[in-house]
Structure 1
């Protein structure tokens, strides 16, 4: 199962009335599902660790071969981050400095988030508080995982893609036409 346990993650900045807020998404590379996320008024390593804990909780606590891919930001190169990954048996994977293509999956999700929620037609920002942004992000993540169509997944939402994949693995359903 190790092949399927690759998480990509990154931070993005969102304006709010009282300054910036930061959002970290953890994306399951196989299904494009957002499995962990965190909104905070800072971008210290603990916000990333909180998002990783959410991802572990949503996926079960231990997965052999878990690889966590990120850019070379200070949160992802910190001693605390490296120690926590070692504790949970995960391997860090860091792209080259200044190359957004090295973390394209996480950058793409950040772009969707900004286009669809932060600057999109349904936007409700700028948000007054971190909690307001967190609530809006919760709704967007739910929509992203259960309704947003992804071309990479054969124009299905991540949750539907995963359900079909696991149904095939258990022999309940046949998957046709998926990449």
Structure 2
């Protein structure tokens, strides 16, 4: 079996910005490849809440059809401007300076990547942002071998809610021995 191809050019540029800015927590390549694969099956508007240095948006763009629109919001206006430069030649990606709620005007989303813990807790708001059949990917969970999921001696109520909410068909996916994510499809 051969190794996966190098990361796409936009992803490489976003990772370079991440290193320059001292970000050590951009998404893993495994998560990025999953986002690209999911984006390839989507039409309409895709979004990332919590742009950071644009790594997630770059992965979405690498997989999305050319007629799909990708919007992303970054709270730090200086960082948003730097990320906008990465996507300057990418017609279907818009990076907005503002908090995640500035993207509500672009909903409903066919694919939504969330990397902001406070937003993950607002399952009702997220459900309203997705079109029927829309997919949300929630990143940065610590794997748990228990049910209900236990992390640091406490029940992970956010994960428990996402995996049991009847509005979604959801699954937790192990990305690495120390990382998992949730993929949930709006019924």
| TM-score, length of structure 1 as denominator length | 0.35
Q: Which has the higher helix share?
A: 1
Q: Which has the higher strand share?
A: 2
